Amino acid sequence: MEYRYTPRTDFTFLASGNIFKHFSSMPSFPVRIGLELFERARHLCGKDKLVFCDPCCGSGFSAAVLGVMKREELSAIFASDVDEACVEAARCNLDLIERENLLAARDRLLGKPETSPERAAQLTRSMDELLPYLETPAPPTSVFRHDILAAPPPIGTADYVFADFPYGEMTAWKGGEERSGDPVGRFFASVLPILQEGGVCAVCGRKELKLRADGVPGFRRVDRFSAGKRMAYLFQKI
Protein backbone atom coordinates (compact mmCIF):
# COMPACT_ATOMS: atom_id res chain seq x y z
CA MET A 1 0.00 0.00 0.00
CA GLU A 2 0.99 3.64 -0.40
CA TYR A 3 1.16 5.56 2.86
CA ARG A 4 0.05 9.14 2.25
CA TYR A 5 0.28 10.56 5.76
CA THR A 6 2.30 8.19 7.94
CA PRO A 7 6.04 7.95 7.25
CA ARG A 8 7.92 4.76 7.93
CA THR A 9 9.31 4.94 11.43
CA ASP A 10 10.05 2.67 14.37
CA PHE A 11 6.92 2.25 16.49
CA THR A 12 8.50 -0.30 18.83
CA PHE A 13 7.84 1.95 21.82
CA LEU A 14 4.11 1.49 21.15
CA ALA A 15 4.23 -2.27 20.65
CA SER A 16 1.65 -4.30 22.55
CA GLY A 17 3.29 -5.89 25.56
CA ASN A 18 5.95 -3.18 25.78
CA ILE A 19 4.11 -0.33 27.52
CA PHE A 20 0.54 -1.06 26.53
CA LYS A 21 -0.55 -4.39 27.93
CA HIS A 22 -0.87 -7.47 25.77
CA PHE A 23 -3.74 -9.84 26.46
CA SER A 24 -3.71 -13.37 25.08
CA SER A 25 -6.36 -14.09 22.42
CA MET A 26 -6.71 -10.34 21.74
CA PRO A 27 -4.70 -9.48 18.61
CA SER A 28 -3.15 -6.02 18.23
CA PHE A 29 -3.66 -3.96 15.08
CA PRO A 30 -0.53 -2.66 13.28
CA VAL A 31 0.30 0.85 14.48
CA ARG A 32 1.23 2.40 11.15
CA ILE A 33 -1.93 1.19 9.37
CA GLY A 34 -4.10 2.50 12.21
CA LEU A 35 -2.46 5.92 12.06
CA GLU A 36 -2.77 6.05 8.27
CA LEU A 37 -6.47 5.16 8.37
CA PHE A 38 -7.10 7.87 10.96
CA GLU A 39 -5.42 10.55 8.85
CA ARG A 40 -7.25 9.48 5.70
CA ALA A 41 -10.52 9.67 7.61
CA ARG A 42 -9.67 13.08 9.07
CA HIS A 43 -8.95 14.52 5.65
CA LEU A 44 -12.17 13.04 4.26
CA CYS A 45 -14.16 14.54 7.15
CA GLY A 46 -12.51 17.93 6.64
CA LYS A 47 -12.17 18.50 10.40
CA ASP A 48 -9.25 19.28 12.65
CA LYS A 49 -10.58 17.14 15.52
CA LEU A 50 -12.66 13.98 15.41
CA VAL A 51 -14.87 12.04 17.77
CA PHE A 52 -13.62 8.47 17.45
CA CYS A 53 -15.46 5.22 18.11
CA ASP A 54 -14.10 1.66 18.05
CA PRO A 55 -17.12 -0.63 18.60
CA CYS A 56 -15.08 -3.86 18.33
CA CYS A 57 -12.24 -2.60 20.49
CA GLY A 58 -10.74 -5.86 21.77
CA SER A 59 -7.89 -4.91 24.13
CA GLY A 60 -8.27 -1.23 23.24
CA PHE A 61 -4.80 -1.17 21.69
CA SER A 62 -5.80 0.72 18.53
CA ALA A 63 -7.77 3.30 20.49
CA ALA A 64 -4.89 3.74 22.96
CA VAL A 65 -2.39 4.29 20.13
CA LEU A 66 -4.58 7.05 18.70
CA GLY A 67 -5.00 8.48 22.18
CA VAL A 68 -1.24 8.90 22.34
CA MET A 69 -0.24 9.75 18.79
CA LYS A 70 -3.30 11.73 17.68
CA ARG A 71 -4.50 13.20 20.97
CA GLU A 72 -4.55 16.77 19.63
CA GLU A 73 -6.76 15.67 16.74
CA LEU A 74 -9.29 13.84 18.95
CA SER A 75 -12.29 15.36 20.72
CA ALA A 76 -13.27 12.09 22.41
CA ILE A 77 -12.64 8.32 22.31
CA PHE A 78 -15.40 5.73 22.67
CA ALA A 79 -14.43 2.06 22.85
CA SER A 80 -16.81 -0.85 23.28
CA ASP A 81 -16.98 -4.60 22.85
CA VAL A 82 -19.51 -7.36 23.46
CA ASP A 83 -16.94 -9.34 25.47
CA GLU A 84 -16.58 -8.14 29.06
CA ALA A 85 -12.96 -9.38 29.20
CA CYS A 86 -12.16 -7.11 26.24
CA VAL A 87 -13.87 -4.18 27.93
CA GLU A 88 -11.72 -4.61 31.05
CA ALA A 89 -8.57 -4.91 28.94
CA ALA A 90 -9.48 -1.78 26.97
CA ARG A 91 -10.06 0.17 30.18
CA CYS A 92 -6.61 -0.87 31.35
CA ASN A 93 -4.88 0.26 28.15
CA LEU A 94 -6.82 3.49 27.71
CA ASP A 95 -5.98 4.47 31.28
CA LEU A 96 -2.36 4.56 30.15
CA ILE A 97 -2.88 7.47 27.73
CA GLU A 98 -3.00 9.70 30.81
CA ARG A 99 0.54 10.79 31.66
CA GLU A 100 0.11 10.34 35.42
CA ASN A 101 -1.30 6.83 35.04
CA LEU A 102 1.51 5.82 32.71
CA LEU A 103 4.20 7.09 35.07
CA ALA A 104 2.56 5.25 37.96
CA ALA A 105 2.41 2.02 35.93
CA ARG A 106 6.08 2.41 35.02
CA ASP A 107 7.09 2.91 38.63
CA ARG A 108 5.10 -0.15 39.72
CA LEU A 109 6.76 -2.31 37.08
CA LEU A 110 10.26 -1.03 37.82
CA GLY A 111 9.67 -1.67 41.51
CA LYS A 112 8.84 -5.33 41.04
CA PRO A 113 11.74 -7.67 41.96
CA GLU A 114 10.90 -9.94 39.02
CA THR A 115 11.48 -7.14 36.48
CA SER A 116 14.77 -8.02 34.82
CA PRO A 117 17.42 -5.39 34.06
CA GLU A 118 16.81 -5.97 30.35
CA ARG A 119 13.06 -5.36 30.74
CA ALA A 120 13.71 -2.27 32.86
CA ALA A 121 16.07 -0.85 30.22
CA GLN A 122 13.57 -1.54 27.44
CA LEU A 123 10.78 0.12 29.40
CA THR A 124 12.92 3.17 30.13
CA ARG A 125 13.81 3.58 26.45
CA SER A 126 10.18 3.28 25.41
CA MET A 127 9.04 5.77 28.04
CA ASP A 128 11.64 8.27 26.84
CA GLU A 129 10.11 8.10 23.35
CA LEU A 130 6.52 8.06 24.51
CA LEU A 131 6.36 10.78 27.15
CA PRO A 132 6.85 13.75 24.76
CA TYR A 133 3.55 12.81 23.08
CA LEU A 134 1.76 13.07 26.42
CA GLU A 135 2.57 16.70 27.21
CA THR A 136 -0.89 17.82 26.08
CA PRO A 137 -4.08 16.65 27.86
CA ALA A 138 -5.56 13.33 26.79
CA PRO A 139 -8.97 13.34 25.10
CA PRO A 140 -11.88 12.15 27.26
CA THR A 141 -12.49 8.42 26.97
CA SER A 142 -15.44 6.11 27.57
CA VAL A 143 -15.14 2.31 27.59
CA PHE A 144 -18.24 0.15 27.91
CA ARG A 145 -19.82 -3.17 26.99
CA HIS A 146 -22.04 -3.08 23.91
CA ASP A 147 -23.20 -5.44 21.14
CA ILE A 148 -22.65 -3.55 17.88
CA LEU A 149 -24.47 -6.30 15.95
CA ALA A 150 -27.66 -5.62 17.89
CA ALA A 151 -27.92 -1.82 18.12
CA PRO A 152 -26.04 1.47 17.62
CA PRO A 153 -23.73 2.31 20.53
CA PRO A 154 -25.18 4.90 22.95
CA ILE A 155 -22.63 7.64 22.30
CA GLY A 156 -24.48 10.41 20.49
CA THR A 157 -22.52 10.95 17.28
CA ALA A 158 -19.04 10.22 15.97
CA ASP A 159 -16.94 11.47 13.07
CA TYR A 160 -14.80 8.37 12.64
CA VAL A 161 -15.59 4.71 13.35
CA PHE A 162 -12.94 2.01 13.03
CA ALA A 163 -13.20 -1.75 13.28
CA ASP A 164 -10.80 -4.62 12.71
CA PHE A 165 -13.24 -7.37 11.81
CA PRO A 166 -12.80 -10.80 13.46
CA TYR A 167 -10.72 -13.18 11.39
CA GLY A 168 -12.14 -16.39 12.82
CA GLU A 169 -8.80 -17.48 14.34
CA MET A 170 -8.10 -15.63 17.60
CA THR A 171 -11.38 -13.72 17.38
CA ALA A 172 -14.86 -14.33 16.02
CA TRP A 173 -18.14 -12.44 15.74
CA LYS A 174 -20.17 -12.58 18.94
CA GLY A 175 -23.45 -11.06 19.99
CA GLY A 176 -27.18 -11.30 19.57
CA GLU A 177 -27.15 -11.13 15.79
CA GLU A 178 -24.11 -13.18 14.84
CA ARG A 179 -26.38 -15.97 13.62
CA SER A 180 -28.17 -13.65 11.20
CA GLY A 181 -25.81 -14.72 8.43
CA ASP A 182 -24.70 -11.15 7.75
CA PRO A 183 -22.70 -9.72 10.69
CA VAL A 184 -20.98 -7.19 8.41
CA GLY A 185 -24.34 -5.86 7.26
CA ARG A 186 -25.55 -5.64 10.86
CA PHE A 187 -22.37 -3.80 11.81
CA PHE A 188 -22.84 -1.10 9.18
CA ALA A 189 -26.54 -0.78 9.99
CA SER A 190 -25.63 -0.01 13.62
CA VAL A 191 -22.84 2.40 12.69
CA LEU A 192 -24.89 4.48 10.24
CA PRO A 193 -27.12 6.24 12.83
CA ILE A 194 -24.20 7.42 14.98
CA LEU A 195 -22.05 8.87 12.21
CA GLN A 196 -22.17 12.58 11.49
CA GLU A 197 -23.06 13.51 7.91
CA GLY A 198 -19.87 12.98 5.94
CA GLY A 199 -18.41 10.85 8.73
CA VAL A 200 -16.09 7.98 7.87
CA CYS A 201 -16.13 4.30 8.80
CA ALA A 202 -12.91 2.33 8.23
CA VAL A 203 -12.96 -1.46 8.41
CA CYS A 204 -10.28 -4.08 7.98
CA GLY A 205 -10.39 -7.81 7.50
CA ARG A 206 -8.86 -10.68 5.64
CA LYS A 207 -8.02 -10.09 2.00
CA GLU A 208 -11.02 -12.28 1.21
CA LEU A 209 -13.26 -9.52 2.63
CA LYS A 210 -15.02 -8.00 -0.40
CA LEU A 211 -17.09 -4.85 0.09
CA ARG A 212 -18.46 -3.38 -3.12
CA ALA A 213 -18.53 0.36 -3.70
CA ASP A 214 -22.34 0.28 -3.85
CA GLY A 215 -22.84 -2.59 -1.42
CA VAL A 216 -23.31 -0.77 1.91
CA PRO A 217 -26.61 1.14 2.25
CA GLY A 218 -26.14 4.72 3.42
CA PHE A 219 -22.44 4.79 2.56
CA ARG A 220 -20.20 5.30 -0.43
CA ARG A 221 -16.85 3.57 -0.62
CA VAL A 222 -14.14 6.21 -0.93
CA ASP A 223 -10.91 4.27 -0.49
CA ARG A 224 -9.47 0.80 -0.21
CA PHE A 225 -6.02 -0.74 0.01
CA SER A 226 -4.29 -3.96 0.94
CA ALA A 227 -1.56 -4.21 3.56
CA GLY A 228 0.04 -7.56 4.21
CA LYS A 229 -2.73 -10.08 4.91
CA ARG A 230 -5.31 -7.33 5.46
CA MET A 231 -7.76 -5.48 3.25
CA ALA A 232 -8.85 -2.03 4.41
CA TYR A 233 -11.90 -0.05 3.27
CA LEU A 234 -13.05 3.47 4.02
CA PHE A 235 -16.74 4.32 3.66
CA GLN A 236 -18.23 7.80 3.97
CA LYS A 237 -21.78 8.44 5.11
CA ILE A 238 -23.96 9.97 2.38
Counting the structural domains of the chain, the total is 1
CATH number at residue 95: 3.40.50.150
Range of the domain at 214: 12-237
Is 82 within a domain? Answer: yes
Is 96 within a domain? Answer: yes
Q: pTM of the prediction?
A: 0.92
Residue-wise over 25-54: b if at least 16 C-beta within 10 A, else e? ebbbbbbbbbbbbbbbbbebbebeebbbbb
Is 5 within a domain? Answer: no
Is 2 within a domain? Answer: no
Q: Within a 10 A sphere around the Cβ of 91, how many other Cβ atoms?
A: 16
Q: What ranges in 61-170 are assigned the alpha helix state H?
A: 61-69, 84-95, 99-110, 117-130
Is 195 within a domain? Answer: yes
pLDDT, tens digit (0-9, with 9 covering 90-100), for 12-35: 999 888 888 888 767 789 999 999
Which of 52, 78, 235, 57 shows the shortest CA–CA distance to 160? 52
CA dist., res. 100 & res. 27, Å (int): 26
Is 173 within a domain? Answer: yes
pLDDT category of residue 158 using cuts at 50, 70 and 90:
very high
pLDDT category of residue 173 using cuts at 50, 70 and 90:
low
